[in-house]
Amino acid sequence: MSQQSDVEKSHVYDGHGTEEDPFIVEFQRDDPGNPINWSQFRKWSITAIVTMSVFIVTLTSSAYSSSAQELMPELNISRVVFILGVSLFSELYGRQIQWIVSHVALVAFIGGSAGSKNIETLLVLRLLGGIFGASPLVNSGGAIADLFPLHNVALP
């Protein structure tokens, strides 16, 4: 067995640190680094930040669409070229195919990562799962905007 580090020596973990009986790493009782022990204010502040992050990603992905009249003449591009920035596929086929394909890919990559035999495969599959899992973040604003008339979802 390899020598224990100072961290391992200063904490009591279940297990022996071997492949057959690995350490069970958990927060220690009353650990200030454990999010469960944080104040309600801190927990809700982090919740608000995370929620705002999702909201901001959604807004920025849909803000592009409303900038057409300004960007096309400024960049000297046609409407067809501008639409490429929205997404060629959603304009041609709608968002449903993007949602289905991205979620199927997410499940496949995360499922594949569960069966990974080495760290390289695990990291690559987790990265690809994250990329495909971002679909709800960037497509949710457009999907919801499609449900309502423009005067209900846009500022004048």
- Please name the residue that has the structure tokens 């973990």: 13
35 Cβ partners below 8 Å, 6+ apart? Answer: 43, 46
- For the stretch 32-77, pLDDT in tens is 888 888 999 999 999 898 888 777 766 766 667 777 788 889 889 8
Greatest C-alpha distance within the chain = 68
Q: What is the pTM of this model?
A: 0.51
In this structure, the number of other CB atoms found within 10 A of the CB of residue 109 comes to: 20
Is the separation of the CB atoms in 53 and 43 below 8 Å?
Answer: no
**Counting every residue, how long is the chain?**
156
- For the stretch 70-86, pLDDT in tens is 888 988 988 878 777 66
Residue 143's pLDDT is 72
- For the stretch 96-154, pLDDT in tens is 777 888 889 989 999 999 898 999 999 999 999 988 888 777 777 777 766 666 666 65
Residue 127's pLDDT is 93
Residue 61's pLDDT is 63
The closest alpha carbon to 98, from 147, 139, 41, belongs to 139
Q: How far apart are CA 101 and CA 132, in angstroms?
A: 9
In this structure, the number of other CB atoms found within 10 A of the CB of residue 133 comes to: 17
Is the separation of the CB atoms in 35 and 43 below 8 Å?
Answer: yes
Q: How far apart are CA 93 and CA 78, in angstroms?
A: 20
In this structure, the number of other CB atoms found within 10 A of the CB of residue 58 comes to: 20
Residue 16's pLDDT is 82
